[in-house]
Amino acid sequence: MSDHLTEDKEKSKIIIGTRGSELALWQANYVKGLLSNIGLDSELKIIKTQGDKILNLSFDKLEGKGFFTKELEEELLSGTIDLAVHSHKDLPTNHPEGLIIAAVSEREDPAELLLILKDCVDVQHKLSVKFGAMVGTSSNRRKAQLLAVRPDLEIEELRGNVITRIQKLRDEKYDAIMLAKAGVLRLGLDLSEFYVEELEPNELIPAPAQGVLAYQIRESDTALFEKLQAINNKDIAEQIGIERKVLNLFEGGCQMPLGCYCRKDGNTFQIWTSKADDGDDFPDRLFTESQTSEGIAEKIVAKFAPNREFPKNIFITRELSESSYLKHSMTKHGVEVEGRSLIRTFPSINKLDSFIFRNIEWVFFSSKNAIEYFFKLEPQLPKKVKFGVLGRASEDALRLHGKKADFNGEEEGIDTSDIAKEFAKLANGKNVLFPSAKGSLKTIQKELSADTKIVELTVYETVSVENVEKSNAEVLIFTSPSNVDSYFAENLLDPDQKVICIGKTTGQKFDDMGVKYTLPFSPDEIGLAEAVFALD
């Protein structure tokens, strides 16, 4: 394109190319508003893409290969539009020659939503959808991750724009469907007719760049490039740059069931990656942290190399069921898993005084054992009582009793004191019951204000197993401080054995011994699987 034509375009309205769906038009009008705020006049041109025309193929056969972007890019190159607005996750990682991404938006919430018909809800099951439910999604990435935690689900093809997909659920063609939260928020949709289960991006890992808009222009249009820097989010560009590079290095496009999500915690990049061979394959997951973006994508991809070596065996201080996520993720790679608890638990009380629940507004659990022993006592709780838990493992245990957590500390990170501070924002000034073990460290309670009424209830005690047999496994996983005490009362760690701990209080035991260990981000079996996968 000639410089003269570029200059002419500078003097006229900027033509924004967009698809015609409700969401695409919202996105284009959002950009139009941003341009107006920096003094640039613009208008929209609707362009129909191949992905809008072909409705008989799954999204995984379309996204990432230009099916939603090719026609917009062709019009950019021909000069009939000046700027194309894309959902960044739809873009191939390699741009056509002559085009560049000039700027990216802030990131809308990248979480996933599971919309469930209310008569198909069962909170006793993970994800709150009934056993054997039919779930609609055309994403192999979502399918693989869903089946990893709920293998009983029936995953069926779902096509159409956001409004169309919701209508299909409303028409009861599915029991539940999956949508990106970003699109729902941008369209301001009312979902009150459904039960909505939100899956955080470290739980169900989103597509690379999910929730981010890409502003694509001609490389020769340097004047527009400079102007667009006023609406460019450099921090988000850096973070999704890692995600997109991971996608590029895998050379799979969105046909590959790949999830990658990066965020920054202070100066530290935190990256979650999930990859499967296809939608029916159990996905491998990795969590990694880095102080720099340089080289981190290459390190992530190297962990997924087909010829990489895994530990021959692992030992965990907990009995595991046949449906265990950790066991499934390890046996996929031929890793033997031995699970046995090194402690025994028993109830501290056999009966509850109903008076203890008078005016209780919150019940907070720090462990699965506390949940089990508390509900064995058949507590008569107030109808409007709320529940708090430390992490997903406790949340899943709570579900088995038909209760849903109103606060899950795992969303706040792995530091218990940080979790306590976040819970304090909700519970200060309230009446809070803490069912716990004898000798509990009371980390959460210490952060609550003086006007909070704290009710302590010791529901169980632990004792160590005598004569604990030493494990020769290459990796030892400790699930509580009591299990650490029990194991090392009679055993020593071999120099080549690696240690993984659930929780900082468990890790503190190894700090005291001067032993190096790995602390998973998530204190549950998914987090443990990620931690084992990350080991060198």
CA atoms within 13 A on the CB side of 183: 21
**N-to-C CA span, the chain:** 51
| Segment (H or E) for 112 | strand 112-117
CA–CA dist 42, 502 (Å, integer): 54
Taking residues 508-535, what's their average pLDDT? Answer: 95
Q: What is the pLDDT of residue 70?
A: 85
Contact call for residues 110 and 233 (beta carbons, < 8 A) = no
Sign of CA dihedral 150, 154, 155, 158: negative
Residue of 348, 215, 234 lying closest to 293 (CA atoms): 234
Predicted confidence (pLDDT) at residue 9 exceeds the cutoff of 50: no
Q: What is the pLDDT of residue 354?
A: 80
- Which residues are bridge partners to 408 per DSSP? 389
Sign of CA dihedral 382, 386, 388, 392: positive
Q: What is the pLDDT of residue 412?
A: 61
Q: 500 by DSSP, 3-state: which?
A: strand
Taking residues 48-63, what's their average pLDDT? Answer: 53
Taking residues 237-262, what's their average pLDDT? Answer: 88
Residue 443 pLDDT level (bands cut at 50, 70, 90)? confident
CA atoms within 13 A on the CB side of 505: 18
Catalytic residue among 60, 90, 284, 524: 90
Angle between helix 296-303 and helix 234-250 axes, rounded to 10 deg: 40
Residue 63 pLDDT level (bands cut at 50, 70, 90)? very low
Share above pLDDT 90 across residues of the chain, in percent, rounded to a whole number: 81
What value does the mean pLDDT of the chain take? 91
CA–CA dist 76, 217 (Å, integer): 7
Predicted confidence (pLDDT) at residue 141 exceeds the cutoff of 50: yes
CB neighbours of residue 454 within 10 Å:
16
CA–CA dist 470, 489 (Å, integer): 11
- Which residues are bridge partners to 42 per DSSP? 14
Contact call for residues 465 and 393 (beta carbons, < 8 A) = no
Q: Give the contacts of 306 (CB within 8 A, at least 6 positions apart).
A: none
Q: What is the pLDDT of residue 6?
A: 45
Q: Which of 109-118, 221-230, 354-363 has the lowest mean pLDDT?
A: 354-363
CA–CA dist 24, 51 (Å, integer): 13
Predicted confidence (pLDDT) at residue 535 exceeds the cutoff of 60: yes
Q: Give the contacts of 129 (CB within 8 A, at least 6 positions apart).
A: 114, 116, 120, 121, 122, 135, 150, 153, 175, 176, 197
pLDDT, one tens digit per residue, over 421-439 is 999 999 999 999 999 999 8
Q: What is the pLDDT of residue 58?
A: 52
Q: What is the pLDDT of residue 314?
A: 98
Predicted confidence (pLDDT) at residue 2 exceeds the cutoff of 80: no
pLDDT, one tens digit per residue, over 182-204 is 999 999 999 999 999 999 999 99
CA–CA dist 156, 165 (Å, integer): 12
Taking residues 223-247, what's their average pLDDT? Answer: 97
Taking residues 220-224, what's their average pLDDT? Answer: 96
Q: What is the pLDDT of residue 313?
A: 97
Q: What is the pLDDT of residue 312?
A: 97
Residue 12 pLDDT level (bands cut at 50, 70, 90)? confident
**Tokens 């003086």, residue?**
450
79: left (phi over 0), alpha (psi -120 to 50) or beta: left
Predicted confidence (pLDDT) at residue 524 exceeds the cutoff of 70: yes
Q: What is the pLDDT of residue 414?
A: 62
Contact call for residues 506 and 478 (beta carbons, < 8 A) = yes
Q: What is the pLDDT of residue 69?
A: 81
Q: What is the pLDDT of residue 218?
A: 97
CA–CA dist 325, 285 (Å, integer): 11
- Name the H helices within 94-139: none
What letter does residue 155 receive in the DSSP assignment?
E
Predicted confidence (pLDDT) at residue 57 exceeds the cutoff of 80: no
**Tokens 């301001």, residue?**
188
Taking residues 5-22, what's their average pLDDT? Answer: 74
pLDDT, one tens digit per residue, over 69-82 is 888 999 999 999 99
Residue of 172, 10, 183, 3 lying closest to 87 (CA atoms): 183
Residue 413 pLDDT level (bands cut at 50, 70, 90)? low
pLDDT, one tens digit per residue, over 460-472 is 999 999 999 999 9
Contact call for residues 317 and 342 (beta carbons, < 8 A) = yes
Predicted confidence (pLDDT) at residue 246 exceeds the cutoff of 50: yes
Taking residues 403-422, what's their average pLDDT? Answer: 83
CA atoms within 13 A on the CB side of 76: 27
Between 65 and 40, where is the model more confident?
Answer: 40
Contact call for residues 357 and 334 (beta carbons, < 8 A) = no
Contact call for residues 396 and 406 (beta carbons, < 8 A) = no
Q: What is the pLDDT of residue 62?
A: 47
Q: What is the pLDDT of residue 336?
A: 97
Angle between helix 481-488 and helix 504-513 axes, rounded to 10 deg: 30
Residue 252 pLDDT level (bands cut at 50, 70, 90)? low
Q: What is the pTM of this model?
A: 0.91
Q: One-letter amino acid identity for 230?
A: A
Active site residue 90: yes
Q: One-letter amino acid identity for 198?
A: E
Contact call for residues 489 and 468 (beta carbons, < 8 A) = yes
Q: What is the pLDDT of residue 67?
A: 56
